Structure 1
Amino acid sequence: MRISTVTMFEQSTASMNRQQSDLMKVSQQIASGRRVVNPSDDPQAASRAVGVDQAKAVTEQYSDARVSARNSLSQTESILNSVSDAVTSAKTLLIQASSDTLSDVDREAIASELKGVYETMLGQANATDGNGRYLFGGYKDNAPPFVKSADGSVQYQGDSNVREQRVDASRLMPVNDNGETIFKSVPSGAGYVAEAKKENGDLNDGNVTFSGPQISDVKNATDFRITFTSDVAFDIETFDGTDWNAVKSESYTWESGDPAQQVSYGGVSISLEGTPVTDDSILVAKAGSEQREPDLFRTMEEAIRVLENPADTSAKKADLRNTLNTAMRDLDNSLDNVLTVRASAGARLNELDVIDSVGSNRMLNYDQTLSDLVDLDYTEAISEYSLRQIGMQASQKAFVDIKGLSLFNYM
Structure 2
Amino acid sequence: MRISTVTMFDQSVASMNRQQGDFLKVSQQIASGRRVVNPSDDPQAASRAVGVSQAQAVTKQYADARVSARNSLAQAESVLNSVSDAVISAKTLLVQASSDTLSDSDRQSVASELRGVYETLIGQANATDGNGRYLFGGYQDSSAPFVRNGDAITYVGDNNTRAQRVDASREMPVSDNGASIFNSVASGAGYLSEAGKLDVAGDINARNEGSVTFSGPQVVNNSDPNHGSAFRVDFTSDGVTHTYTVQMQDENGDWVDTVPPLNGEAYDPAGQTISVGGVRLELQGTPEDGDGVRFATADSMNHNLFETLEKALSVLENPAGTPAEKAELRNTLRTAMRELDNSLDNVLTVRASMGARLNELDVVDAVSDNRMVNYEQTLSDLIDLDYSKAIAEYSLRQVGLQAAQKAFVDVKSLSLFNFL
TM-score band by shorter chain is over 0.9
> Could you tell me how far apart the structure 1 residues matched to 2:257 and 2:148 are?
37
Contact 2:152 2:307 in 1 (8 A): yes
Q: Which of 236, 250, 258 is matched with 1:229 structurally? A: 236
> Could you tell me how far apart the structure 2 residues matched to 1:206 and 1:245 are?
25
Aligned residue for 2:316, secondary structure, equals helix
> Could you tell me how far apart the structure 1 residues matched to 2:20 and 2:367 are?
47
> Could you tell me how far apart the structure 2 residues matched to 1:261 and 1:147 are?
42
Identity rate of aligned residues, in percent?
66
Query: What does 1:329-348 align with in structure 2 at a 5 Å threshold?
Result: 329-348=338-357
Name the count of aligned residue pairs: 407
> Could you tell me how far apart the structure 2 residues matched to 1:129 and 1:57 are?
27
TM-score (norm 1): 0.96
1:218: which partner in 2? 222
4+ residue runs over 6 A deviation: none
Using the TM superposition, give the Cα deviation of residue 298 of structure 1 relative to its aligned residue in structure 2, in angstroms.
0.5
2:201: which partner in 1? none
Contact 2:246 2:262 in 1 (8 A): no
Aligned residue for 1:107, secondary structure, equals helix
> Could you tell me how far apart the structure 1 residues matched to 2:310 and 2:255 are?
27
Amino acid corresponding to residue 79 of structure 2 in structure 1: I
TM-score (norm 2): 0.94
Aligned residue for 1:288, secondary structure, equals helix
Aligned residue for 2:186, secondary structure, equals coil
Amino acid corresponding to residue 59 of structure 1 in structure 2: T
1:60: which partner in 2? 60
Amino acid corresponding to residue 93 of structure 2 in structure 1: L
Using the TM superposition, give the Cα deviation of residue 406 of structure 1 relative to its aligned residue in structure 2, in angstroms.
1.4
1:262: which partner in 2? 273
The answer for unaligned runs of 5 or more in structure 2 is 199-203
Using the TM superposition, give the Cα deviation of residue 252 of structure 1 relative to its aligned residue in structure 2, in angstroms.
3.6
* C-alpha RMSD of matched pairs (Å): 1.3
> Could you tell me how far apart the structure 1 residues matched to 2:146 and 2:58 are?
38
1:195: which partner in 2? 194
Contact 2:153 2:306 in 1 (8 A): yes
> Could you tell me how far apart the structure 1 residues matched to 2:386 and 2:234 are?
89
Using the TM superposition, give the Cα deviation of residue 5 of structure 1 relative to its aligned residue in structure 2, in angstroms.
1.8
Amino acid corresponding to residue 187 of structure 1 in structure 2: A
> Could you tell me how far apart the structure 2 residues matched to 1:45 and 1:252 are?
90
> Could you tell me how far apart the structure 1 residues matched to 2:205 and 2:82 are?
32
1:205 aligns with 2:198: no
1:253: which partner in 2? 265
Aligned residue for 1:201, secondary structure, equals strand
Using the TM superposition, give the Cα deviation of residue 246 of structure 1 relative to its aligned residue in structure 2, in angstroms.
4.6
Aligned residue for 1:20, secondary structure, equals helix
Deviations 1:249-289 (A, max 9, x none): 24343434x52111111111111111111111111111012
Query: What does 1:56-205 align with in structure 2 at a 5 Å threshold?
Result: 56-150=56-150, 152-199=151-198, 200-205=204-209
> Could you tell me how far apart the structure 2 residues matched to 1:252 and 1:184 are?
37
Q: Which of 396, 401, 404 is matched with 2:410 structurally? A: 401
Q: Which of 392, 405, 418 is matched with 1:383 structurally? A: 392
Using the TM superposition, give the Cα deviation of residue 140 of structure 1 relative to its aligned residue in structure 2, in angstroms.
1.4
Aligned residue for 1:6, secondary structure, equals helix
Using the TM superposition, give the Cα deviation of residue 244 of structure 1 relative to its aligned residue in structure 2, in angstroms.
2.9
In terms of fraction of residues, the more strand-rich structure is 2
Using the TM superposition, give the Cα deviation of residue 19 of structure 1 relative to its aligned residue in structure 2, in angstroms.
0.8
Amino acid corresponding to residue 194 of structure 2 in structure 1: E
Aligned residue for 2:2, secondary structure, equals coil
Q: Which of 233, 239, 242 is matched with 2:253 structurally? A: 242
> Could you tell me how far apart the structure 1 residues matched to 2:262 and 2:244 are?
11
